[in-house]
Amino acid sequence: MIQEQEQKQTPPLGAQVLVVDDEPLILTSLSRLLTNAGYRVHIARNGNEAVRNIETNRYDLILLDLKMPGLTGHEVMDRIQEKRVDTMVIVVSGDVSIESAISAIRRGAYDFVRKPYEPDEILKRVQNALASRQLELDNRNMAKRLQRSEQWHRYLVNSSLDLIYSLDTEGRFTFVNNAVERILGFPKRELLGKHYTTIVHDEDVLGAAHLFNERRTGERSVRVELRLKHVDESRLHSPGKRFVPVELNAMGMYDSDGDGQRRFIGTYGVVRDIADRKRAEKTIAYQAYHDLLTGLPNRALFQDRLAQAINQAKRDNTQLAVMFLDLDKFKFVNDSLGHVAGDKLLKTLAARLRSCLREVDTLARLGGDEFVLLLPQINEATDATLIAEKILLALQQKFVIGDHELFASVSIGIVLYPDDADTSENLIKRADVAMYHAKNQGRNNYQLFNYAMDAQASGRLALVRDLRNALDHSEFEMHYHPQVDIPSGRIVGFEALLRWNHPTHGLLSPSSFIHLAEETGIILQIGEWVLRTVCGYAIKWRDAGLPPVRIAVNISPQQIQKPHFADNFLKLLEEHQLDPALIGIEITESTIMKDVEQTIPKLIKLGEAGVEISLDDFGTGYSSLSYLTKLPIHTLKVDQSFIRDIPRNAGHLSIVNAIATMARGLGLRLVVEGVETQAQLDSLIGIGCKEYQGFLFAQPLPSGKATDLLRGNHAEQRAEIKIAS
Ligand code: C2E
Ligand code: MG
Ligand code: MG
């Protein structure tokens, strides 16, 4: 045994060795021998000194003489045992009796060397003893470590948030940690001995089988996500938590029996509750694919579904439709009632749109007031137009948003696969083009896409390009539309109307380009040009000695929204030395409403300086009549849509009548726009209207003609005056 160790272990050098002997010669020679061999040697000249040393120092080995005056070697060993001193003893003695040797071994001596000794022999024995001590120390450490690590593991297993289990070869629980109660609600003891399928969701049993299977698990860990059953809700007091999604890591357990053969003894694993992670994944996936305001799919999900639907339609040789829906005048709702009301309207609208659809249809919100609709499995265009009609009809019902009752309408563009386009991108683009067309057709209608529209859309782009050059190329001009005092037939003012002399399209009226100018912001430069041009003419007329008539200029929202609009406007009049009463402005209700707080002070400032402010297109806006009293305006211009059907439409005449009565009550000037026939004029005279602007009197005129008309009107006037006098 000692022999074996000798081969395996190298004795530790630097070990502390105590040599105890009463013979000085032996003491010296032993200590020299050992010191030379690399040990740290201490000496004691008798047993008492040895015990003292042992009590205060730690020795790996003691070479101990037996026969000494005072305490004998045996007694020293007794003390060592009594005091449980951790050391080794080699007895080096001249007493060779077997009794003495036995009693030394009984007292714990490791070896026995006879005097006189061979130096080599004693070194070898010392080496062996120390090697054996080292081994023992190592083992002791290992045992300690093992004990510690077992405690550590037990601690880890029990305090783990994950469920840790082991199963026997049949798949029955042999161990579960405390986490099982928290994760699944099962008391630990209830699960022990049960088969694992007791807690696996029925649909996941098959998938779970290989986790608990000997061949599959092997010694590599296998990871799987599955659902485990939770104890019933009544016991848990947390309703709805029937299944827990978990991630499971399993491994096979093996034992090696006597003959070294590996034997499968079951599986063990770690189960992690991933409900939170699943929930987070779900939320993230939902947010990535849905519009959070309405809960509808967003553009990404729509494109996904559309791509799938196209593939399906291709396979089945069927058609599908895509609709582009844009809420009419939504910006106005947002601007006047605020974004909270706007959001509510969008939500309610989304719900109402949904109610018009089939289960297979996808309605998505692209953003703002734009929605798209995918209608798969369409047989013919009418299948789609029927749904569009259903939508338009459903929107005829009012929306109640807080204290407000609103009417919303949409413009719808419809495109069909594969006739109009065969890629998702083009389908959406062309549905948008068709929607734009619906807007131009007066909103609240649907349009089926056709190729002419596409040409129009590209025409639009070209028009924007031309518009950017129009100012530089001096292609704009102003026309002047007279406003007439009915009783006297005199021109009391003009409205300045913009015209674009387009190099190829000829003379264009604002309806074909003003919205583009507004969308692109070019309206600001154009507006500036209009004002300067109009001021120029006012001066010309004044200098030509013509009677002073007011010219009203139309102002776009973007112009009035400029912070210094009023100041700049007045500065311009001053530069031209023009009386502010000669240049008026026309502004629509919706322009004011876009930013009431900023706009009203500007209007007040202009009004106080003498600039006449007209409310244009009156009657088409949203604000209540009583709101008018709060606006700093001088004139109402009744929108021509009320005049068109007069006298046929008595309702319209009574509306104009109400407006006229109210204007008189508020002391506002009233100009009726769009009078084309004598019958219309007569009806208006019948309700007491005094001024109008319309083709009946004249078309909007280029400046030269307007000057002539003004001069003639003036001469006539003078003639009248002469006759009268
Ligand atoms: P608006 O300010 O309401 O101008 C009146 C429009 O009604 C003019 O159309 C005029 O030609 C038309 N009109 C007047 N009487 C009759 C009639 O008896 N029958 C018919 N059928 N139409 C009549 P126009 O010139 O095409 O202008 C359209 C709109 O373009 C204007 O509506 C105004 O909002 C805008 N606009 C015109 N000039 C300018 C401008 O210089 N700047 C800005 N920002 N907008 C302008
Ligand atoms: Mg106008
Ligand atoms: Mg108008």
CB 659: neighbour CB atoms within 10 A?
Answer: 23
| C-alpha 598 to ligand 1 mean position (Å) | 26
Residue to probe by mutation, ligand 1, list 554, 639, 676, most atoms within 8 Å of CB: 554
Radius of gyration of the chain (CA): 52
pLDDT digits 0-9 by tens, 558-581: 999 999 999 999 999 999 999 999
| Cβ 633 vs Cβ 602: under 8 Å | no
- The structure tokens listed for 377 are 């499995």
| Amino acid letter, residue 571 | K
**pLDDT above 60: residue 238:** no
Measured from the alpha carbon of residue 483, the closest ligand is 1
pLDDT band at 330 (very low <50, low <70, confident <90, very high): confident
Ligand 1 pocket, residue 509 CB under 6 Å: yes
C-alpha triplet 494, 496, 498: angle, nearest 5°? 155
pLDDT digits 0-9 by tens, 412-449: 999 999 999 989 999 999 999 999 989 988 888 999 99
| Cβ 709 vs Cβ 482: under 8 Å | yes
Give the pLDDT score at 91.
Answer: 92
Q: Give the Cα separation of 162 and 61 in Å (integer).
A: 50
pLDDT digits 0-9 by tens, 49-99: 999 999 999 999 999 999 999 999 999 999 999 988 889 999 998 877 777
Q: Give the Cα separation of 691 and 217 in Å (integer).
A: 95
Ligand 1 pocket, residue 616 CB under 6 Å: yes
Mean local confidence (pLDDT), 547-551 = 92
| Cβ 654 vs Cβ 661: under 8 Å | no
Mean local confidence (pLDDT), 460-481 = 91
3 state SS of 708: helix
**pLDDT above 50: residue 724:** no
Give the pLDDT score at 2.
Answer: 35
Half-sphere exposure (Cβ direction) of 196: Cα atoms closer than 13 Å: 32
pLDDT digits 0-9 by tens, 108-133: 888 888 888 889 989 999 999 998 88
Ligand 1 closest atom vs CA 510: 30
Measured from the alpha carbon of residue 531, the closest ligand is 1
Q: Whose CA is nearest to atom 11 of ligand 1?
A: 700
Give the pLDDT score at 712.
Answer: 82
Give the pLDDT score at 550.
Answer: 95
Q: Whose CA is nearest to atom 8 of ligand 1?
A: 497
Ligand 1 pocket, residue 674 CB under 6 Å: yes
Measured from the alpha carbon of residue 591, the closest ligand is 1
Q: Whose CA is nearest to atom 20 of ligand 1?
A: 674
| Cβ 8 vs Cβ 138: under 8 Å | no
| C-alpha 432 to ligand 2 mean position (Å) | 30
Residue to probe by mutation, ligand 1, list 480, 497, 560, 677, most atoms within 8 Å of CB: 497
- The structure tokens listed for 721 are 């005056």
Ligand 1 pocket, residue 586 CB under 6 Å: yes
Q: What is the rounded end-to-end Cα distance, in angstroms, of the chain?
A: 154
Q: What are phi and psi of 399, to 5 degrees?
A: -105, 130
pLDDT digits 0-9 by tens, 77-88: 999 999 888 899
pTM of the predicted protein model:
0.49
Q: Which DSSP string corresponds to 563-598?
A: TTHHHHHHHHHHHTT--GGGEEEEEEHHHHHHTHHH
| Average pLDDT of the chain, as a whole number | 87
Q: Whose CA is nearest to atom 25 of ligand 1?
A: 497
| C-alpha 636 to ligand 1 mean position (Å) | 15
For 153-180, b where at least 16 C-beta lie within 10 A, e where not — what string?
A: eeeebeeeebbbbbbeeebbbbebbebb
- The structure tokens listed for 86 are 């951790």
**pLDDT above 80: residue 723:** no
| C-alpha 691 to ligand 2 mean position (Å) | 15
**Alpha carbon 616 to chain centroid, angstroms:** 43
Q: Which DSSP string corresponds to 173-197?
A: EEEE-THHHHHH---HHHHTTSBGG
Ligand 1 pocket, residue 530 CB under 6 Å: yes
| C-alpha 497 to ligand 1 mean position (Å) | 6
Residue to probe by mutation, ligand 1, list 509, 673, 699, most atoms within 8 Å of CB: 673
On the question of a cis peptide bond just before residue 245, with omega within 30 degrees of 0, the verdict is: no
Q: Whose CA is nearest to atom 27 of ligand 1?
A: 510
pLDDT band at 715 (very low <50, low <70, confident <90, very high): low
Give the pLDDT score at 683.
Answer: 94
For 352-363, b where at least 16 C-beta lie within 10 A, e where not — what string?
A: ebeebbeeebbb
Region of residue 667 (phi > 0: left; psi between -120 and 50: alpha; otherwise: beta): left
Give the pLDDT score at 622.
Answer: 54
**pLDDT above 70: residue 722:** no
Mean local confidence (pLDDT), 514-539 = 93
Measured from the alpha carbon of residue 484, the closest ligand is 1
Give the pLDDT score at 13.
Answer: 65
Give the pLDDT score at 76.
Answer: 95
Give the pLDDT score at 9.
Answer: 41
| C-alpha 537 to ligand 3 mean position (Å) | 22
Q: Give the Cα separation of 616 and 608 in Å (integer).
A: 20
Listed in sequence order, the residues at least 6 apart from 488 whose beta carbon sits closer than 8 Å to its beta carbon are none
Ligand 1 closest atom vs CA 498: 38
β-partners of residue 362 are 374
Q: Give the Cα separation of 252 and 267 in Å (integer).
A: 4
- The structure tokens listed for 5 are 């160790």
- The structure tokens listed for 208 are 């779970």
Domains of the chain: 8-138 (3.40.50.2300), 150-280 (3.30.450.20), 291-449 (3.30.70.270), 464-720 (3.20.20.450)
Half-sphere exposure (Cβ direction) of 678: Cα atoms closer than 13 Å: 0
Q: Give the Cα separation of 535 and 13 in Å (integer).
A: 113
- The structure tokens listed for 314 are 């291709």
Give the pLDDT score at 235.
Answer: 46
